[in-house]
Each structure stands twice: as structure tokens, then as C-alpha cells.
Amino acid sequence: MTLSLGIGIIGMGWMGETHSRAWRGMSERFHQAGIQADLILCADEVEARARLGQQRFGFQEYSIDWRHVVDDDRVDIVVVTVPNNLHFAVIQAAAEAGKHVFCEKPVGRTPQETVAAANAARDAGILSGVGYNYRCAPMVQYAQQLIRDGQLGEITHFRGRFLVDYGSDPKGVRSWRFQHEIAGWGVLGDIMSHVIDLALHLVGPLRRVFARQKTFITERPLAELGEGSHFSVGGGPKGPVTNEDYVSALADFECAAVGTFEVSRVAKGHDCELAVEVNGTKGAMRWNYERLNELQLRLPNGKTNANGWTTIQAGPQHPDYARFYPGPGNSISYDDLKSIDAFRFAQSVVEGRQGQPGLDDAVAVAEVLDAMLRSTDSATWATVLRLED
């Protein structure tokens, strides 16, 4: 028996395109689950982009008004891939309409918006998902199992970084990601949120942080509405960059581990280096998204001649890998991670339970980001506090 879920996607930029492929891929890759994603309606304020989305991915209809997605009775799940300034409005409207919501991170432009979105979903009794897709990588899932099972012992150190250079060219356009009034956070929301999510997922809650931030490129060429992305280059009139390019932080975890975090969108020479390293009293692990199908482990066995790092290739024995390939050593992609993300959320909707990561997980990340903001303002350690609406 196959159960169909109606999917509506709001925002048909490159992330909306990615989610469209992911939901189509979910139905095929996880076909044994008997869940079919029906692409009902896509929306974008740029009509050409909305129309192209319908044509490329097979949506039944398109619209230039996102409210049509929320109001359509055929839509069960609203996928939110618009700029951050619209996230809360869409989530609130979808919640009031009784639609389940999958939203791209960081959900809100501010910690308070993220909390408000989570409260709206909880009050309406809808289920939520958030695009922290890197935790879906089979080797990250395997690493989490090893840590949970005590293979690394008591965790003592965590190091996380996300270094990219999409903003290193001063001619890179001032897309919405570089504007505080639209994006809110700069790299805090865009990429630090992923590092924090992995830290919480692998090690657990943080207690306090000491952070700093910097904007290296203070103005950029203006972007054309509906044209290109934050990777695009321009040469016309310029406007100010109003959020941060770089953030780093020291951290103490509640489990007594210590940590370091570093993210940058202007780190020349780094294409997309999301990397985490964890040390424990019995061993260590490290994973880098640029080699996402590998996990490096060091689990000393007491023999000096065997005490070294081991590189493990992803294979069918690791979580979700067999959905894509029957043999080891084949490369799962970013789009595949999004398909895993989509399946997990679809499964939670079918089963009527709140899965992870959801909006409450986004709030947990926002609480850490809020502490980092307070720390940069005060130039002192800041305690991670529970946020209230």
C-alpha cells in the first residue's frame, strides 16, 4: 500500500530546486516505505522561476503568491526555502492552516523569531522539520552511534569548522544573505548553525561560549531580483554588507568537554570544508564534508604498531547507505542527503510523531547562536540560556 503526501515548495531558487529533486528522489530511494511524494504546487515571486520549477520538476501548478501553497487543500507538507525574512510568516500561516512544515535553517533571522516559529508549530499541533541535512550523512550517523555506544569513551574535545570562499571575491553580489534586514545573521545563521547542530547531535548541549566576529568585505555589487545566487559575481553599483563574514568561538559543553568553532564565507582556498573532530578518553574521530563518504577513526588497541588513524569508506553496513548503492566506496551526494532528510520527515508525518531535526532543534541551535551574539557584544564569556518567546 502506498500513501501519498502532497508537497508544496515556496521559493524556487537553487535550494528550492534541490528540495524538488530531493522529494522526487525520496519516493524512489525509499520506495520500500510506501510513501509517495506528489509535487503539487511551487511558488516564487519571480514568475519565470516559478514556471521553470513546474516544468523541470513536474509540479501540477505554479504560483507567484506563496499563500496559494498554504491554502491548497491538496498540500500536506509546506517546504520553506525562501529568504529568512519570510520564514516566520510562512510557518505561522502554514501552522494555522494545519499544514506540516519543513523549513530551511536557520528558521528565524533572530533567536526570537526561531522560538516564535517553534511555538506556532507546537500550538497548532503540526509536525516540523529543519534542513540540518549534514547529520544525515551515513558516516556522521555512524559516528554518532560510536559516540553513543561509548566507543570513544568520555568526550573531552570537539572542534568544528565550516570554511567556504563563496564571498571571498569583492565582486560577489550582495545577495539577500549579506543583508541583515533580510537574512538576519550572516555566517552565524548560514553556516555556523550547521556546525552547532552537529556539535549538539554528536556531543550534547553547550554551557557557555566566548565568540568574536568580523566583516571583511563591507560593500558588494547589488544583485538583480531573481538572478543568480550568492555565488554570482557582478560589477554594477554597490551597497553595504550589513552582517558578519566570520565568527569563531571557544566553548564549554555541559558534559565537561571543551570545544572550538570557526566559520567564514571569505576564507580563500576553502571550497566547502565543513569538518568536525571529536576526541574522547578511548579514541577519536574526524569527518569532513568534502570527503563525506569517509570517516577517520582512531581507536587504540594497546598495540603500538597498530595505533594509528583508520579511514573507513561508507558502505551498505552504514545507516541509509544501502538505499543508494549495494556496494561500498560509491559516493553519496549533497542531493542524496536532502533525500534522506525528506524521507525522515515524511516518515514522521505518516507515523504522526515529531522527528528530528525539528523546530525545537532549531531553537537549541539558536540558543547557542544567541550566546555567541551576546559574547561578541560584551567581549566576555556568555552562558547559553533558554530562550522564551
The closest alpha carbon to 361, from 213, 250, 197, belongs to: 197
pLDDT of residue 141: 97
Residue 7, CA distances (Å) to 41, 43, 77, 169, 354 in order: 7, 12, 5, 37, 18
Kindly state the average pLDDT of the residues 179-202. Answer: 96
Kindly state the average pLDDT of the residues 350-365. Answer: 97
Instruction: Order across the sheet with 128-130: list the strands.
Output: 61-63, 35-43, 3-10, 77-80, 100-103, 128-130
Q: Which three cell numbers stand for residue 206?
A: 553547550
The listed CATH number (3.30.70.890, 1.20.1090.10, 3.40.50.720, 3.40.47.10) that belongs to domain 3-133: 3.40.50.720
Please say if the pLDDT value at position 225 is more than 80: no
| % the chain with pLDDT above 70 | 96
The closest alpha carbon to 216, from 149, 264, 156, 270, belongs to: 264
Mean pLDDT, the chain, as a whole number? 95
Could you tell me which residues come within 8 angstroms of residue 254 by beta carbon, excluding any fewer than 6 positions away?
Answer: 204, 205, 206, 207
Please say if the pLDDT value at position 304 is more than 60: no
Could you tell me which residues come within 8 angstroms of residue 12 by beta carbon, excluding any fewer than 6 positions away?
Answer: 20, 42, 43, 44, 46, 49, 50, 52, 53, 81
pLDDT digits (tens, 9 = 90+) for 154-180: 999 999 999 999 999 999 899 999 999
More confident residue, 138 or 306: 138
Euclidean distance between CA atoms 134 and 319, whole angstroms: 13
CB atoms within 10 A of CB 236: 11
Q: Which CATH superfamily is domain 138-331 in?
A: Dihydrodipicolinate Reductase; domain 2 (3.30.360.10)
pLDDT digits (tens, 9 = 90+) for 107-122: 999 999 999 999 999 9
Kindly state the average pLDDT of the residues 140-163. Answer: 97
Confidence of residue 2 (pLDDT cuts 50, 70, 90): confident
pLDDT of residue 100: 98
Tell me the helices (H) and strands (E) count for the chain, helix number first.
11, 17
pLDDT of residue 302: 61
Q: Any idea which of 70-79, 146-155, 168-177, 377-386 has the lowest mean pLDDT? A: 168-177
Confidence of residue 301 (pLDDT cuts 50, 70, 90): confident
Determine the distance from the C-alpha atom of residue 135 to the mean position of all C-alpha atoms in its chain, rounded to a whole number: 9
Kindly state the average pLDDT of the residues 95-107. Answer: 97
Contact 82, 225 (CB under 8 A): no
Could you tell me which residues come within 8 angstroms of residue 55 by beta carbon, excluding any fewer than 6 positions away?
Answer: none
Contact 81, 16 (CB under 8 A): yes
Q: Which three cell numbers stand for residue 212?
A: 568574536
Confidence of residue 308 (pLDDT cuts 50, 70, 90): confident
More confident residue, 224 or 47: 47
Could you tell me which residues come within 8 angstroms of residue 75 by beta carbon, excluding any fewer than 6 positions away?
Answer: 6, 7, 8, 40, 41, 69, 99
DSSP 147: H
Confidence of residue 306 (pLDDT cuts 50, 70, 90): low
DSSP 84: G
pLDDT digits (tens, 9 = 90+) for 235-254: 788 999 999 999 999 999 99
Longest dimension (CA), the chain: 65
Confidence of residue 314 (pLDDT cuts 50, 70, 90): very high
pLDDT of residue 303: 61
HSE (side-chain half, CA atoms, 13 Å) at 217: 24
Phi, psi of 260 (to 5 degrees): -130, 145
Confidence of residue 255 (pLDDT cuts 50, 70, 90): very high
Kindly state the average pLDDT of the residues 300-308. Answer: 69
Contacts by residues 220-224 (CB-CB < 8 Å, ≥ 24 positions apart): 220/170, 220/171, 220/172, 220/173, 220/174, 220/178, 221/171, 221/172, 221/173, 221/174, 222/173, 222/174, 223/173, 223/174, 223/175, 223/176
Q: Which three cell numbers stand for residue 34?
A: 510506501
* Domain definitions of the chain by residue range: 3-133, 138-331
Kindly state the average pLDDT of the residues 13-32. Answer: 95
The closest alpha carbon to 299, from 286, 310, 287, 291, belongs to: 310
Could you tell me which residues come within 8 angstroms of residue 327 by beta carbon, excluding any fewer than 6 positions away?
Answer: 315, 316
b/e map 160-188, b = 16+ CB within 10 Å: bbbbbbbbbeeebbbbbbbbeebbbbbbb
